Structure 1
């Protein structure tokens, strides 16, 4: 096999949609079963660049009910926790628009023309793409399905991510998250799933958490600029280190932990409009060659004295 044929075969394999397994993965009915129950559905299941399920976005219009959006995250495993579905009612205009936008999402584009005689066509490798499977069922029970990955960038991919964006806009707390600080609308929904309680407050605190350089400071020089994100009497304690108190001491302790310790939020709970708890784990290791161990920890954010959310305390549980 020539190099050209090998690469083309690899690209074809990457571009081939995976068999739809959304119902099994996310615990939802098969799309055809919903059609027989007089339920109209438009849904998109996403797979990230690591080949892991990234979320299922469904727009549902059951008989005698208002149209709604439902977002489901992947089931729990050793690396991630389970989250309840996020739902919201959408307007009839939004429903009509997304149905109209989906016309032709399953049309397969014609292949590119062959190269001219004597010329070699350019080859491009596409590795680790996101992918999407879009399914719909209409009032007649007719099912349409198309799968596509980012190597093709065709109609199904564009429609799937457009549906994710509509879902973000329909869920106020999700829409409040800074879209410029996440990869795409699907990851924005995934981050939104972390929020609970007063989700509006939790979203505000999470936006501060996503300040560039805060979650994973690149070096000690960031202590001063990040100081504005700490309360006057903030307290920061890392495993095995003494508590640091005050703006400058706390910010220095936060950035000085190095590459061998970092905090991963797993729940962001809005206790009040001015108080948010981030519950998660500190990943730590004694040296660069050792395995990471997890230590439960809590990061408290408060809004006081006319400021926005700032770190009040951080310590292992």
Structure 2
């Protein structure tokens, strides 16, 4: 049945208003079976209907960030005959998982009781001078999608499936619960808990970063904390060799291979690599280094992979780079050992 608002809109030749919970920042329709299938394929998720039919008790959230980007999904799962676990589903088949303490599982269950409920809008009074209240503007809001299988909202009977999609613009119970799941996931997966939260937007982005850690993830997380940006963390002037020397490590003697041009650090003059990189940045101010993967090789050795980019007129060039770092047990910091930058090519 058409509502009066829809009939009025059609009569005026306008489209019916769209629930803001069903649109992401790119304007995609996200309250549809087609969108669910796309995200499930992207993240390797079984549908919530399949989970319910298999008897699993599942509390999970999907997230779309403020720019319309599908983020990792967090799922607390208890399958027949198995202990509860938390699983983080990422792109390209990447996954994280960890055991769930009994008190955490109890909290996930209890907080889910009202997570799919819709709150009535809080009444607001008009300004005393009779003017209309100022409009509320909300930009780049995250959107969460909750899905629960075989939950017990009333503690009396099992509900096969519960769902709720909610935008952070005016979001309430679903948004709160979705980010609670992400917070508990970070706490439950040890390498993720190491990541510096002060350098992250929220617990979902922590999990996204954690999905990029490989090998000895404790070492990888430690390296991420100290070398997670392409710009040196010790200063703002990245054209200064002194800043790059600090980035490379106090006692470091790194070797650089820049597309076949090799630079060896002279122990008597421990700044040749730093000077070379600083000169490249001065020559090409748009040069940027973006790390993408961190792999712990051992407890005291790790590898960083990333991309270097710069603009050349209307074209933009890109090159892969790889760094090997070693842990200085005396100074308690990472030192660069090798840095290889491949040849630049036009970006696709």
TM range (shorter): 0.7 to 0.9
Q: Is the 8 A contact 1:219 1:255 kept in 2?
A: no
> Matches of 2:17 and 2:321 in 1, distance apart?
44
Are positions 1:41 and 2:58 aligned together?
yes
> Matches of 1:222 and 1:98 in 2, distance apart?
49
Change (3 A) 1:177 1:259: farther
Give matches, 1:25-104, under 5 Å.
Answer: 25-74=42-91, 82-104=92-114
> Matches of 2:93 and 2:206 in 1, distance apart?
14
Per the alignment, in what secondary structure is the counterpart of residue 233 of structure 1? Answer: coil
Q: How far has the Cα of 1:219 moved from its partner?
A: 2.5
Aligned residue for 1:250? 273
Give matches, 1:191-230, under 5 Å.
Answer: 191-210=209-228, 213-214=231-232, 218-220=236-238, 223-230=241-248
Moved more, 259-268 or 120-129: 259-268
Give matches, 1:160-239, under 5 Å.
Answer: 160-210=178-228, 213-214=231-232, 218-220=236-238, 223-231=241-249, 232-239=252-259
Q: How far has the Cα of 1:121 moved from its partner?
A: 1.2
Change (3 A) 1:219 1:204: same
Aligned residue for 2:327? 303
Q: Is the 8 A contact 2:116 2:162 kept in 1?
A: yes
Out of 335, 339, 343, the position equivalent to 1:314 is 339
Q: How far has the Cα of 1:245 moved from its partner?
A: 2.7
Q: Any idea what the Cα deviations from partners look like across 1:195-235, whole Å, max 9, x if unmatched? A: 11111111111111137952797434654345333243123
Q: How far has the Cα of 1:292 moved from its partner?
A: 2.2
Q: How far has the Cα of 1:51 moved from its partner?
A: 0.5
Q: CA RMSD in A?
A: 2.9
> Matches of 2:245 and 2:181 in 1, distance apart?
39
Q: How far has the Cα of 1:240 moved from its partner?
A: 8.3
Change (3 A) 1:253 1:149: farther
TM-score normalised per structure 1: 0.84
Greater RCO, CA 8 A, separation 6+: 1
Q: Is the 8 A contact 2:306 2:322 kept in 1?
A: yes
Matched residue count? 301
> Matches of 1:212 and 1:298 in 2, distance apart?
12
Aligned residue for 1:116? 126
Between structure 1 and structure 2, the one with the greater Rg is 2
Moved more, 130-139 or 165-174: 130-139
Q: How far has the Cα of 1:10 moved from its partner?
A: 12
Out of 133, 148, 156, the position equivalent to 2:166 is 148
Change (3 A) 1:181 1:223: farther
Q: How far has the Cα of 1:238 moved from its partner?
A: 4.3
Per the alignment, in what secondary structure is the counterpart of residue 295 of structure 1? Answer: strand
Q: Is the 8 A contact 2:115 2:177 kept in 1?
A: yes
Per the alignment, in what secondary structure is the counterpart of residue 319 of structure 2? Answer: strand
List runs of 5+ in structure 2 lacking aligned partners.
Answer: 1-14, 24-29, 152-157, 343-348
> Matches of 1:262 and 1:108 in 2, distance apart?
45
Aligned residue for 1:269? 295
> Matches of 1:101 and 1:49 in 2, distance apart?
25
Q: How far has the Cα of 1:253 moved from its partner?
A: 3.7
Per the alignment, in what secondary structure is the counterpart of residue 192 of structure 1? Answer: helix
